[in-house]
Chains A and B, each alone.
Chain A
Amino acid sequence: MIEWLVPEASTYARDIDWLFTSIFLTVGFWFLLAQAVFFWLLFRFRRRDGVPAQYITGEEKAEKRWISIPHALVIACDVFLIAATVMVWRNVKQVLPPADETIRVIGQQWAWTFVHPGPDQQLGTEDDVTEVNELHVTNGTVYHFELTSKDVLHSFSVPAFRLKQDAVPGRIITGWFQPTTIGQYDIQCAEICGIGHALMPARLYVETESAHAAWLRDRQA
């Protein structure tokens, strides 16, 4: 359902959207059922002259069944949702596939800095390519990112990738993504970081290999 509003542009975007839809259908069923029963009871048992209310304590076993059976079914749904969640989380945040390339992402009040390793494929060397508020990546490449902040908390959010990770000063947090769709997307800061919080947009360019190589050549020239 999220994909109706935001394109899926990374490999795990589809996993997260699938999980969202699964939860929607599961809880949606219970929600509609509970509301239907609720409104039906309100209609069915509205006051009528000469019809007194029934005296039901709800303490008898047979009566409690009316809440314990739905309850058991809710637990079954919980188990299903927990299993699905564990799978998706492991895939997105816990087990990182081997990287084709590692980039560095640095948040600060109020800009993003992206550092590419350059031709030697090593970060922290002279040929690193640094870009502010623009991230250029190659479609299909598995990227690891090393995320940090220079001052306050920021959050590196790429809605089209379904990627979000807070940047914490003093820590380097590693994550990954693999773009699947060529295009331009928003990068946002998702953690309030001061008065410039809304003025911290960056642009993500998912490019073909040749376009990316051309951009890199351009930047090194």
Chain B
Amino acid sequence: MSHDTAAHAAAHGSVWRRWVFSTDHKVIGCQYLFTGMAMAVIGGLMSYVFRMQLAWPDAPVPGYGVVSPGEYNALVTNHGSIMIFWVAMPVLIAALGNFLIPLMIGCDDMVFPRLNRLSYQIFLLSALVLLGSLAVPGGGFGGAWTSYPPLSAKGAYNLTPYGAPLWLVAVALEFVAFLLGGINFVTTVMNARAPGMKASYIPMVVWMIIIASILFMASVGPLVAGAVMLLFDQILGTRFFDPAGGGDPLLWQHLFWFFGHPEVYVVLLPAMGIVAEIITVFSRKKLFAYNTVLLTAAGTGVLSFLVWAHHQFVAGIDPRMAHLFTVTTLLISIPIAEMTFVFIATLYGGSITFPTPMLFALAFIAEFLIGGVTGIFLGSSGTDIYLHDTYFVLAHFHYTFFPIAIIATFAALYFWFPKMFGRMMNDTLGKIHFWGTVIPFNFIFIPLFITGMGGDHRRIYSYENFPMQMTPFLQELRIVATVSLVILLLFQVVFLFNFFWSLFRGPKAPANPWRANTLEWTAPSPPPHGNFATMPSVYRGPYEYSVPGRADDYWPQHVAN
């Protein structure tokens, strides 16, 4: 192994050294996980406040008070930023990638453990800067997570002279953290695989995290450049994005969406990988067409760079460009549809059981289908003219991101919890949590598809000034969405209770409770520092379930025959 032993030795020292400054990939993974969970609670409570305002305009929100327009903008902006950059990415990529990659490819740690620690520390700093940006004079930034200039570029326009630059610094720091993490992931998988671990034997979730990391690294450059330019505009008075000084506001949009669209696939692919792992285990089936999945994931990655301007159909770009971006956008339905068909085909001929992780994995497929098909309405430039920036977009977006960032994440947590913490979670509470999450979720966002079709635009703190939007029908839909959100949030208490109770009191987990094939299940639960008692060798692919002629319906990758 190529990484230094000094770092390992340090990790065996005091509690402080073992848990705070550890270089162990599993500890860092858990640090990302807990930070992500804390941020999810904050982001979730923000949505409670602004949804209450939308349902009952200008009434004091219980536990918060009256929401001013500036606060409303800051809440929606930071809810979006937090959920994407400080929840979805750290949990799906950093937490799971860190925890799973070395265990699944059969090595004892990341190739650069200290870089890994640095990556988390920068990430933590970025989270603190973001939270700090909410407390400065003028309040948190309220120009939407897309941060379009000139609004975002000048304190005179956004009235948050400190909040806006701090928000941007936080985002930029977060990107640096993930660049470092991505370098580690890719290098580790290239160099540190167990003997016999051919490319075609790598579990799909590892492949997906690697492809996602490469996508992230390839797309983030333009945005980092844009962020520096925007920061200069904010604090040095340059005018990169201000036409009065020869700049162009649309330049930012191109830089932002050149990153922003691939970003969807950066978080989608790991979620797809999680689902691939879980549905194979609980249907006792080989993953249908492994190579096809891999090719479609790579194809999605490439295509994701060619679609960015579908966010800008009505932004003032040359109308001829819309045709090109409609074509590329609708083409992306091809690999994504194929991946979905693969998952559905995997179920065929299975012996399917429905413990909590499987329920969440299946819910991912069912819900993500809605996100996928509603994307067609927005990828089509003709309908996007009407739907752009309405709640239809918001509902579509949440039907993709909620399955990715929340449902797939829960699937992963329920699935790998025994390995992470050496204890089992309670399945009954898990199922209560499942239904309490998935049912209200649909009751939040299906009404919002309808209000979007009814012309509700986003980021408007009160519709009272728009007579056409203040019909009783639309207002009732807003109330349904809000009440459903409150129910959904309340059911997360069940999860938090189950998680922390199981962490300390749950029944001890065996090494391989789900009878799964991949290497992480050969390590003890939880794996000690250095992971494996004896380093495993790999003899076959990860999905050899129900192989004819074998007594067991699974055939772990490290068992010779």
Given contacts A38-B344, A93-B322, A188-B457, contact A162 B385 (CB under 8 A): yes
Asked if B369 is at the interface (CB within 8 A of a chain A CB), the reply is yes
- CB < 8 Å neighbour of A85 from B292, B326, B465: B326
Let me know if B157 and A58 touch, CB within 8 A.
no
Cα A93 to Cα B289 with chains together (Å): 43
B151's nearest neighbour on chain A, judged by CB, is A152
B286's nearest neighbour on chain A, judged by CB, is A57
Let me know if B69 and A199 touch, CB within 8 A.
yes
B380 neighbours in A (Cβ, 8 Å):
19, 23, 81, 84-85
Asked if B315 is at the interface (CB within 8 A of a chain A CB), the reply is yes
**19 A-B pairs, CB-CB below 8 angstroms?**
A5-B454, A5-B455, A16-B383, A26-B376, A27-B377, A28-B373, A45-B348, A59-B290, A64-B292, A89-B322, A155-B389, A159-B468, A170-B244, A188-B460, A190-B389, A195-B69, A195-B70, A197-B69, A197-B73
Let me know if B157 and A66 touch, CB within 8 A.
no
Question: 8 Å CB contacts to A: which residues of B248-263?
Answer: 248-250
B144's nearest neighbour on chain A, judged by CB, is A192
- CB < 8 Å neighbour of B455 from A30, A35, A186: A186
Let me know if B351 and A53 touch, CB within 8 A.
yes
Inter-chain pairs besides A168-B243, A197-B459, 19 sampled, C-beta below 8 Å: A5-B450, A27-B377, A42-B362, A45-B350, A52-B546, A54-B348, A55-B547, A59-B291, A63-B288, A70-B341, A71-B341, A89-B326, A152-B150, A159-B386, A169-B242, A170-B249, A188-B460, A192-B143, A194-B158
- CB < 8 Å neighbour of A58 from B68, B150, B250, B292: B292
B68's nearest neighbour on chain A, judged by CB, is A195
B459 neighbours in A (Cβ, 8 Å):
192, 197
Asked if A75 is at the interface (CB within 8 A of a chain B CB), the reply is yes
Among B6-14, B329-337, B415-423, B514-522, the one that faces the other chain is: B329-337
Asked if A214 is at the interface (CB within 8 A of a chain B CB), the reply is no
B292 neighbours in A (Cβ, 8 Å):
58, 64, 67
What is the CB-to-nearest-CB distance from B480 to chain A, in angstroms, rounded to a whole number? 16
- CB < 8 Å neighbour of A34 from B289, B344, B465: B344
A15's nearest neighbour on chain B, judged by CB, is B382
Asked if A215 is at the interface (CB within 8 A of a chain B CB), the reply is no
A59 neighbours in B (Cβ, 8 Å):
289-291
A2's nearest neighbour on chain B, judged by CB, is B453
What is the CB-to-nearest-CB distance from A92 to chain B, in angstroms, rounded to a whole number? 6
- CB < 8 Å neighbour of A81 from B142, B314, B376, B388: B376
Total A-B residue contacts, Cβ distance less than 8 Å: 283
Cα A153 to Cα B352 with chains together (Å): 52
B376 neighbours in A (Cβ, 8 Å):
23, 26-27, 81
Interface string of A128-165 (1 = CB under 8 A from B): 00000000000000000000000111010101101111
Interface string of A12-26 (1 = CB under 8 A from B): 000110011001101
Asked if B159 is at the interface (CB within 8 A of a chain A CB), the reply is yes
Let me know if A35 and B350 touch, CB within 8 A.
no
Let me know if B457 and A157 touch, CB within 8 A.
yes
Cα A199 to Cα B347 with chains together (Å): 52
Question: 8 Å CB contacts to A: which residues of B124-147?
Answer: 142-144
Asked if A111 is at the interface (CB within 8 A of a chain B CB), the reply is no
Question: 8 Å CB contacts to B: which residues of A50-85?
Answer: 51-59, 63-64, 66-67, 70-71, 74-75, 78, 81-82, 84-85
Asked if A221 is at the interface (CB within 8 A of a chain B CB), the reply is no
Let me know if B468 and A6 touch, CB within 8 A.
yes
Let me know if B250 and A194 touch, CB within 8 A.
no
Top 6 A-B residue pairs of the complex, sorted by shortest distance between their CB atoms? A170-B243, A54-B349, A88-B382, A58-B288, A159-B455, A58-B289
Question: 8 Å CB contacts to A: which residues of B370-415?
Answer: 370, 373-374, 376-377, 380-383, 385-386, 388-390
Question: 8 Å CB contacts to A: which residues of B75-112?
Answer: none
Asked if B490 is at the interface (CB within 8 A of a chain A CB), the reply is no
Asked if A113 is at the interface (CB within 8 A of a chain B CB), the reply is no
A46 neighbours in B (Cβ, 8 Å):
352-354
Given contacts A53-B545, A186-B468, contact A153 B347 (CB under 8 A): no
B467 neighbours in A (Cβ, 8 Å):
186
Given contacts A164-B386, A192-B151, contact A1 B453 (CB under 8 A): yes
Asked if B189 is at the interface (CB within 8 A of a chain A CB), the reply is no
Let me know if B340 and A34 touch, CB within 8 A.
yes
What is the CB-to-nearest-CB distance from A37 to chain B, in angstroms, rounded to a whole number? 6
A171's nearest neighbour on chain B, judged by CB, is B316
Asked if B466 is at the interface (CB within 8 A of a chain A CB), the reply is yes
Interface string of A168-195 (1 = CB under 8 A from B): 1111010000000000011011111111
Cα A70 to Cα B334 with chains together (Å): 10
Given contacts A53-B285, A193-B151, contact A45 B347 (CB under 8 A): yes
Let me know if B352 and A19 touch, CB within 8 A.
no
B460 neighbours in A (Cβ, 8 Å):
188, 197-198
